Amino acid sequence: MVDSLCLIHPTFYVMKQYIENNLPEGWILTTIAEIADLNPPKPPQNAFDPNTIVTFVPMPAVDAELGIISKPVDRPFSQVRKGYTAFREGDVIMAKITPCMENGKAAVVRGLKNSLGFGSTEFHVLRPNGAVLPEYLYHFIRRESFRKAAESEMTGSVGQKRVPAEFLKQSEIPLPPISEQKRIVAKVEGLLTRVNTTKEHLAKVAMILKRFRQAVLAAACSGRLTADWRDNNQRENAEDLILKILNRRRTQLEIRKKDGLGARYKEPLKPAYKLAFEIPDTWCLATIDQLTLLITKGTSPKWQGFNYSDRGIPFIRSQNVLWGNLYLTDMAYLPPIFNDSHENSIIHRGDVLLNLVGASVGRSSIATEAIEGANCNQAVAIIRLVPEGMINKFLMYYFLSPHAQEHIHESKADVARANFNLDDIRPMVGPVPPLAEQDEIVRRVDAMFKLAEAVEKRVAAATARAEKLTQAVLAKAFRGELVPTEAELARRLKHRREPQIRKEQ
């Protein structure tokens, strides 16, 4: 490939000369086509009995992290001999389609039934011809720089782009002697095993933090988190708070009706079931309906003839509502006139937002000043609490707690896109602590989550360093800096023998 580029621009000729002049002693610069057969032909149909069991490898079976086939399937030869890519023991397979190629889907083929395998037609097959070890070739194509070069050469339409075979054939590879390749592979795999072990431990920390958050929320919403606080503070009863909330709710909704802004006052739904866990005797149960002035959702702007614009009012979608916070980087906007006809779904600062649809159902956050006056679509519920009643963050934390999440996912409609309806929110029962205790619960949960977030950031930074370390190891390997060259070993051996030779003379 570099040869063809040299004809286009002299810079590439200089690059090629630099690479060749800086190869480690005893290495050569060659092409993949010279050391491996690319996409070799399938075995003849009569080469195996139709009932012979062979290994079938769909794309998901390739572990991009470890470079192995982790979930192969056994199939008879007759089922896979047509319409699939064939490979055999010791081949290297590499995904050619986006995004699998960019994600590093490649592996050395080992452990095939009857030494024969078939798989997705989206694999390129590289069969070493004896000049290169399969593992050496695999680690070469695993490098990020190689994948980026392959990505730049992809052809085809968006979503269906593929790496052409010609790119692989012409790709140049620095090649040491086989004995040195063995030492390089052993060193690389030893180091990467340690890196992967570190990454596995870091991934476990992420799961531990997730369980920690769930445990904190479970304790917070059952009263266990503030048991010591109740022992040391005046014991209020939430019954008085509930009565105040209901009175304020009636007053405000009747005022809205009088002003022509709402429907006729309707008594809120009362709790129809008990929670699956015990709560302190100073707490009460209430429905979300009893605690709120408004439970509503937005609509699709397209249904109303509106298109997204580059500026205007922020338009909140389910991807903007995360677990306890908002993601405002990927924002949509609508013309301000949209709010004129959709006043009921205008978001106020302090509203509790809850995702209703799809994979993100149950995620909840608080509307901040940044989205004051925004609107939302039908996938996001707006829950507006009665003022001076329940603390909005306590309700958000309850929505995110294991009990509430279980209730939400059990109640969601089983349709093409699972959804939780407004009519599911209103009768939902939750715990109501006294106001002072709510405040203490929120303070403690915030502090614990802040600690977890700090650990999470450190884990993310360590994971990023581990990812870079993988590529650093591979870069050093193919520059000849990871193990001594054969020539260097020969000189060392000669140096050790010289005193003995002089002594014998």
Give me the pLDDT at residue 36, please: 98
- CA of residue 104 relative to chain centroid, distance: 15
With a cut of 80, say whether residue 260 has pLDDT above it: no
With a cut of 70, say whether residue 7 has pLDDT above it: no
With a cut of 80, say whether residue 485 has pLDDT above it: yes
With a cut of 50, say whether residue 246 has pLDDT above it: yes
Q: Are 255 and 210 in contact (CB under 8 A)?
A: no
Q: What digits encode the pLDDT tens for the residues 38-77?
A: 999 999 888 899 999 999 999 999 999 889 999 899 999 9
Interstrand relation of 292-297 and 352-355 (parallel, antiparallel or unpaired): unpaired
Q: Percentage helix, strand, coil, to 5, in the chain?
A: 50, 20, 35
The residues, ordered by sequence, that sit 6+ positions from 436 with a Cβ below 8 Å of its Cβ are: 233, 236
Interstrand relation of 36-38 and 123-128 (parallel, antiparallel or unpaired): antiparallel
Q: Are 447 and 237 in contact (CB under 8 A)?
A: no
As a whole number of angstroms, the distance between CA 96 and CA 169 comes to: 13
More confident residue, 255 or 142: 142
Give the confidence band of 9 by pLDDT, cuts at 50, 70, 90: very low
Q: Which two tokens stand for residue 193?
A: 């095993």
Q: What is the value of pTM for the model shown?
A: 0.77
More confident residue, 92 or 504: 92
With a cut of 70, say whether residue 17 has pLDDT above it: no
With a cut of 50, say whether residue 234 has pLDDT above it: yes
> What would the DSSP string read from start to end of 268-321?
PPPP-S--SS---TT-EEEEHHHHEEEEEE---GGGGT---BSSSEEEE-GGGB
Residue in 69, 86, 158, 73 with CA at minimum distance from that of residue 121: 86
Give the confidence band of 303 by pLDDT, cuts at 50, 70, 90: confident
As a whole-number percent, the residues of the chain with pLDDT over 70 amount to: 91
Residue in 314, 378, 390 with CA at minimum distance from that of residue 352: 390
Query: What secondary structure letter does DSSP report for 434?
Result: -
Give me the pLDDT at residue 258, please: 78
Q: What digits encode the pLDDT tens for the residues 368-382?
A: 999 999 999 999 999
As a whole number of angstroms, the distance between CA 344 and CA 241 comes to: 27
- DSSP H/E element including 380: strand 380-385
Give me the pLDDT at residue 159, please: 81
Give me the pLDDT at residue 257, please: 78
**202 φ/ψ angles, rounded to the nearest 5 degrees:** -65, -40
Give me the pLDDT at residue 236, please: 86
Query: Distances in Å between the alpha carbon of 252 and those of 149, 247, 457?
Result: 64, 9, 44
Residue ranges and CATH numbers for the domains of the chain are: 28-176 (3.90.220.20), 237-433 (3.90.220.20)
Give the confidence band of 251 by pLDDT, cuts at 50, 70, 90: very high
Q: Which of 98-102, 152-156, 307-311, 484-488 has the lowest mean pLDDT?
A: 484-488
> What would the DSSP string read from start to end of 177-225?
-HHHHHHHHHHHHHHHHHHHHHHHHHHHHHHHHHHHHHHHHHHHHHTGG
Interstrand relation of 62-63 and 68-69 (parallel, antiparallel or unpaired): antiparallel
Task: Map tokens 């339409």 to a residue.
Answer: 157
Q: What digits encode the pLDDT tens for the residues 175-223?
A: 999 999 999 999 999 999 999 999 999 999 999 999 999 999 999 999 9
Give me the pLDDT at residue 19, please: 60
Q: Are 67 and 108 in contact (CB under 8 A)?
A: yes
Query: Distances in Å between the alpha carbon of 499 and those of 488, 490, 495?
Result: 18, 15, 8
Residue in 298, 288, 297, 318 with CA at minimum distance from that of residue 385: 288
With a cut of 60, say whether residue 14 has pLDDT above it: no
Task: Map tokens 């991009």 to a residue.
Answer: 64
- Supply the angle between the helices 178-222 and 134-142 in degrees, to the nearest 10: 50
Give the confidence band of 21 by pLDDT, cuts at 50, 70, 90: low
Q: What digits encode the pLDDT tens for the residues 321-373?
A: 999 999 999 899 999 999 998 999 999 999 999 999 988 999 999 999 999 99
As a whole-number percent, the residues of the chain with pLDDT over 90 amount to: 80
